[in-house]
């Protein structure tokens, strides 16, 4: 079992839908949780960052961490075709600067 599990998709939704992207993990030492967005033929870029448990909101994006269930989510409201990309979750323990990445979920938002 990989330390971080993420469904590769693709996930195809109509424009305006609410999107839910998820990762599960097995290492209880993880404290830093991140979501990266990667457009085709580009490098990943940080989208959201959360420390420990709880929610964090930034515009149409909400990151949620449930450490008791070892489950993290990224919600996208009012999804747009420009949100079409691969979304990678990443996490690391305290004191480490080396994240463990999920395999990424491919999201397609069609007009």
Partner 1 sequence: DVKVTQSSRYLVKRTGEKVFLECVQDMDHENMFWYRQDPGLGLRLIYFSYDVKMKEKGDIPEGYSVSREKKERFSLILESASTNQTSMYLCASTDRGPNNEQFFGPGTRLTVL
50 vs 2, 38, 62, 85, CA distance in Å? Answer: 21, 19, 10, 21
- Structural Rg of the chain based on CA atoms: 13
Nearer to partner 1, 9 or 17 (CB): 9
Give the residue, chosen from 3, 8, 12, 78, that forms a contact with partner 1 under the rule CB under 8 A. Answer: 8
Smallest gap from residue 70 Cβ to partner 1 (A): 18
32 touching partner 1, by CB under 8 A: yes
Q: Which of residues 45-64 bind partner 1 (CB under 8 A)?
A: 45-46, 49, 51
6 vs 3, 15, 40, 75, 106, CA distance in Å? Answer: 10, 23, 19, 15, 10
Give residues in contact with partner 1 (CB under 8 A): 6, 8, 32, 34, 36, 41-46, 49, 51, 88, 90, 92, 94, 96-99, 101-104
């Amino acid at each position: 079992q990989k330390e971080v599990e993420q469904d590769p998709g693709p996930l195809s939704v109509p424009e305006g839908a609410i999107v839910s992207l998820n990762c599960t993990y097995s290492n209880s030492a993880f404290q830093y949780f991140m979501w990266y967005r990667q457009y085709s033929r580009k490098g990943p870029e940080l989208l959201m960052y959360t420390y420990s448990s709880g929610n964090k909101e930034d515009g149409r994006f909400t990151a949620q961490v449930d450490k008791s269930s070892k489950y993290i989510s990224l919600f996208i409201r009012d999804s747009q075709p420009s949100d079409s990309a691969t979304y990678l979750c990443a996490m690391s323990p305290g004191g480490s600067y080396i994240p463990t990445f999920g395999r990424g979920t491919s999201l397609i938002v069609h007009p």
